[in-house]
């Protein structure tokens, strides 16, 4: 169907219709985005699930429409400002696999529109209602998955200001036992940090029950997000609304009274310190929390997830630098240990060329991938996975590649390669990225972004060969049980 965007109409039209059959309004935004259905609405606008008809694969996206109803001039002006700021925030955060990507921001028919990536999956509130209260292992995994995202956001001088279960979406996994990914959405309340945030009272915004006391009076700080995340955790642990978890007469949280299963003292103390009302007694940064919980994560998670989820200094064992062909990996290890990502990427390519005798060709062939020594492939991969905390590596790229399924038909394969490139940050709406424009930053780069140079030949004109190369790489990793 094709949903009319006229707030006074909202008629459902047949697919591919150019103009609304009821009011005559144009149905395509910016000649490419077609609304399918309403998925949310409030006093200042609506949100639609939509299709991007400009791209051959016609992927889903989200249209946010700003259309304030009569709520007073001052409120409307502030809402318009926040709507525009959401686009600025999303653009400033760039590409991050756990933050929706901003696709466009424009005005049409005197209404503002924001187009962003559509995140498939259920939010944690829906998950809670379906499967019941979370256990300790799930809360530790949630902290471990989302705290690095929060750390990245804060590093960009942005406070989210609306962390709650409804704004955390779990992408569905590939169906092959791969770990799903949590995405933090809705940056409509986000703001840049002022030089002296406690000295200026800002907008009072956020979800009641989850907003920190200082945020409720317009003085949000980084620790306000930590508070909201902590309240989110105790809600998921108890399946009880935040209002009922706080005893007003005692001015204290009583969330332990509502637990359906016991949790460790360590986790309890972490959550208590996340949700304490006094800001000076609360965790001041994400790094402080990670330093406390990561040993607990190692104890709780399955062994195969431990290496990718803890920091290098806490890794349970060193990587065996074995080689079937006598190659030395100490230089690569040192680059990665010191987070010199570009140097490590170049060293990886140099080693792969050496192992496959491809120095003179300057690129890897399908045959060289098919015959790449399993021991060396595993060593290189483990080094990347270990020192990137599970964000980079061949096995990470393989997981993303396989999430699109096995496609052999030429056109479908062409689209799969583009989707793969989009997810890794190697491709965008304007085309394929050259090597100089890659992101050599662990926090800013998308998941699976590196290593990359081994797959590039200086330009992306041969990107169909890239697809064939990764198809071969995925099969080789599978055969090597990596």
Structural domains present in the chain: 2-117 (3.30.200.20), 122-309 (1.10.510.10), 330-479 (no CATH)
pLDDT at site 197: 41
Higher pLDDT, 93 or 189: 93
Q: In angstroms, rounded to a whole number, what is the distance separating the alpha carbons of residues 4 and 10? A: 5
pLDDT at site 184: 94
- Tell me how far CA of residue 298 lies from CA of 124, 136, 141, 437, in angstroms: 23, 13, 10, 35
pLDDT at site 199: 38
- Could you tell me the pLDDT band of residue 191, with boundaries at 50, 70 and 90? low
**Structure confidence by residue, pLDDT tens digits, 389-419:** 889 999 999 988 887 765 544 445 667 788 8
Higher pLDDT, 75 or 381: 381
* Range in 105-109, 146-150, 299-303, 392-396 the model is least confident about: 299-303
Mean pLDDT to the nearest integer, 68-90? 62
Mean pLDDT to the nearest integer, 459-463? 46
Mean pLDDT to the nearest integer, 326-353? 93
- Could you tell me the pLDDT band of residue 202, with boundaries at 50, 70 and 90? very low
- Could you tell me the pLDDT band of residue 76, with boundaries at 50, 70 and 90? low
Higher pLDDT, 203 or 404: 404
pTM score: 0.57
Q: In angstroms, rounded to a whole number, what is the distance separating the alpha carbons of residues 250 and 167? A: 30
* Cβ-contact 4, 67 below 8 angstroms: no
pLDDT at site 461: 43
**Structure confidence by residue, pLDDT tens digits, 173-188:** 644 444 568 999 987 6
**Structure confidence by residue, pLDDT tens digits, 242-267:** 999 999 888 899 999 999 888 988 89
pLDDT at site 118: 92
Nearest to 189 by CA among 213, 209, 218, 165: 218
Decide if pLDDT at 322 tops 80: yes
**Structure confidence by residue, pLDDT tens digits, 267-282:** 999 999 999 999 999 9
Q: In angstroms, rounded to a whole number, what is the distance separating the alpha carbons of residues 322 and 130? A: 46
Mean pLDDT to the nearest integer, 72-88? 63
For all residues of the chain together, what is the average pLDDT? 82
**Is 257 a catalytic site residue?**
no
Give me the residue label for tokens 């990665």.
336
Cα angle: 200, vertex 203, 208; to 5 degrees: 125
Mean pLDDT to the nearest integer, 155-167? 90
* Range in 27-36, 65-74, 446-455 the model is least confident about: 65-74
- Could you tell me the pLDDT band of residue 467, with boundaries at 50, 70 and 90? confident
pLDDT at site 43: 57
**Percent of the chain whose pLDDT exceeds 70:** 81
**Percent of the chain whose pLDDT exceeds 90:** 47
pLDDT at site 217: 86
* Cβ-contact 222, 154 below 8 angstroms: yes
Q: Which of 52, 145, 162, 225 is catalytic?
A: 162
What are the backbone dihedrals phi and psi of residue 161, each rounded to the nearest 5 degrees, phi first? 70, 5
Give 107's contacts (C-beta < 8 A, 6+ positions apart). 113
Q: Which of 93-102, 306-315, 343-352: highest mean pLDDT? A: 343-352
Higher pLDDT, 245 or 80: 245
């Amino acid at each position: 169907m094709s949903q009319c965007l006229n707030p006074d109409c909202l008629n459902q039209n047949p697919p591919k219709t150019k103009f609304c059959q009821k009011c005559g309004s144009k149905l395509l935004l910016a000649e490419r985005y077609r609304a399918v259905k309403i998925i949310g609405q409030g006093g200042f606008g609506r949100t639609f699930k939509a299709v991007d008809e400009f791209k051959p694969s016609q992927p889903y996206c989200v249209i946010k429409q700003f259309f304030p109803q009569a709520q007073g001039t001052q409120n409307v002006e502030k809402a318009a400002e926040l709507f525009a700021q959401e686009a600025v925030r999303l653009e400033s955060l760039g590409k991050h696999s756990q933050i929706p990507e901003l696709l466009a921001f424009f005005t049409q028919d005197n209404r503002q529109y924001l187009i962003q990536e559509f995140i498939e999956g259920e939010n944690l509130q829906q998950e809670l209602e379906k499967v019941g209260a979370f256990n300790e292992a799930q809360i530790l995994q949630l902290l471990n998955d989302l705290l690095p995202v929060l750390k990245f956001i804060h590093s960009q001088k942005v406070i989210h200001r609306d962390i709650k279960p409804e704004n955390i979406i779990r992408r569905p996994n590939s169906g092959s036992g791969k770990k799903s990914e949590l995405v933090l959405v809705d940056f409509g309340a986000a703001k840049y940090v002022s030089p002296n945030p406690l000295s200026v009272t800002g907008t009072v915004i956020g979800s009641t029950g989850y907003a920190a006391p200082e945020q409720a009076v317009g003085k949000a700080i980084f620790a306000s997000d930590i508070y909201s995340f902590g309240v989110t955790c105790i809600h998921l642990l108890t399946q009880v609304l935040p209002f009922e978890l706080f005893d007003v007469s005692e001015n204290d949280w009583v969330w332990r009274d509502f637990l359906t299963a016991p949790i460790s003292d360590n986790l309890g103390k972490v959550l208590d310190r996340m949700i304490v009302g006094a800001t000076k007694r609360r965790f001041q940064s994400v790094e402080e929390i990670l330093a406390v919980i990561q040993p607990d994560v190692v104890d709780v998670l399955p062994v195969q997830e431990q290496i990718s989820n803890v920091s290098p200094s806490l890794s349970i064992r060193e990587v065996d630098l074995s080689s079937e062909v006598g190659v030395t990996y100490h230089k690569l290890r040192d680059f990665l240990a010191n987070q010199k990502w570009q140097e490590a990427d170049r060293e990886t390519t140099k080693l792969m060329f050496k192992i496959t005798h491809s120095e003179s060709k300057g690129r890897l062939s399908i045959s060289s991938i098919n015959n790449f020594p399993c021991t060396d492939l595993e060593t290189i991969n483990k080094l990347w996975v270990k020192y990137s905390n599970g964000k980079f590596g061949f096995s990470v790229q393989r997981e993303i590649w396989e999430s699109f399924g096995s496609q052999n038909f030429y056109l479908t394969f062409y689209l799969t390669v583009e989707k793969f490139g989009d997810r890794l940050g190697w491709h965008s709406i304007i085309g394929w990225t050259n090597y100089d424009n890659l992101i050599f930053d662990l926090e800013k780069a998308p998941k699976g972004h590196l290593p990359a140079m081994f797959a590039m030949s200086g330009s992306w004109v041969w990107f169909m060969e890239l697809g064939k190369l990764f198809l071969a790489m995925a099969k080789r990793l599978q055969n090597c049980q990596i």
